Structure 1
Amino acid sequence: MSDAPDRQASGRSAEAKALQHLQRQGLRLLAQNWSCRRGELDLVMLDGDTVVFVEVRYRRYDAWGGALESVDARKRAKLVSAAEHFLQKESRWSRHPCRFDVIAIRADSNLPTDLNWVRNAFDT
């Protein structure tokens, strides 16, 4: 028996928690679960005049790699490609500065410290 429905519910819950947190910080939602053939963008937010592509990562077990570590080079490339497609389709945002953030959420977390928001996560 597959636990995919449980994972999907956990993912939706994590995204809702991330969205609430970002909105409390003053960001405005532009799109949620925006998808194209290149991939999916969990949250697309506006922070001032900056378009923010937010990848929400939820991990139940750190032993298999933490949520932040799961955004590897391959995943980053897919997100960048999907974001480029978003900006082509939603051209009103194409001249705005952009950044990529990651929100990592630990399992069964209700504490604010269990939500780790990394701004400009792809900058090295």
Structure 2
Amino acid sequence: MTYARNQALGAYGERIAADHLRSLGMVILARNWTCQHGEIDIVARDGDTLVVCEVKTRTSTTHGTALEAVSDRKVTILRRSLARWLDVHGVSPDGVRIDVVTVWVPRSGGPRVERIAGVA
């Protein structure tokens, strides 16, 4: 898969993930927020909890599942980025959570979305 196609697939998955989170009653606060530590795909509010979402979009499991792609290193990057987001925005939520949203895009039919809450 080419870089441009990967980028387009990732952007599509993030749009699907954001729509899914909204359908669950979450409020999207930021998308593709970057800092010196890395990027947060989606920052959302779930009630009084601030949620950082890593979105993984896949068309096959040739290179493993979407959830398997979230390594310990990635979780460390998300934690550091979350701390920076909180500092930059001056907020102290009642709770914070890291979720993974997987988007499976089959060859036919619509995408399937799964949210795994509290992976770290």
**How high is the TM-score relative to the length of structure 1?**
0.89
Q: Which runs of 5+ in 2 are unaligned?
A: none
Q: Aligned partners of 1:95, 1:15: CA distance in 2, in Å? A: 24
User: Does residue 110 of the first structure (1) align with residue 110 of the second (2)?
Assistant: yes
Q: Is contact 2:48-2:93 (8 Å) kept?
A: no
User: Does residue 63 of the first structure (1) align with residue 29 of the second (2)?
Assistant: no
The 5-angstrom pairing of residues 6-17 of structure 1 reads: 6-17=5-16
Q: Aligned partners of 1:41, 1:25: CA distance in 2, in Å? A: 20
Q: Aligned partners of 1:3, 1:18: CA distance in 2, in Å? A: 22
Aligned residues: percent identity?
32
The 5-angstrom pairing of residues 1-124 of structure 1 reads: 3-92=2-91, 94-108=92-106, 110-111=110-111, 114-122=112-120
- The structural deviation recorded for 1:106 is 1.4
- The structural deviation recorded for 1:4 is 1.1
Q: In angstroms, what is the RMSD of aligned CA positions?
A: 1.4
Aligned letter for 1:110?
Answer: G
SS in 2 for 1:80: helix
Aligned residues: 118
1:93-123 CA-partner distances (Å, limit 9, x unpaired): x243100000011123615xx211101112x
Q: Which runs of 5+ in 1 are unaligned?
A: none
Q: Aligned partners of 1:29, 1:110: CA distance in 2, in Å? A: 23
Q: Aligned partners of 1:48, 1:89: CA distance in 2, in Å? A: 21
**How high is the TM-score relative to the length of structure 2?**
0.92
Q: Greater share of helix residues, 1 or 2? A: 1
1:29-63 CA-partner distances (Å, limit 9, x unpaired): 11110000100000000001100000000122202
- The structural deviation recorded for 1:65 is 0.8
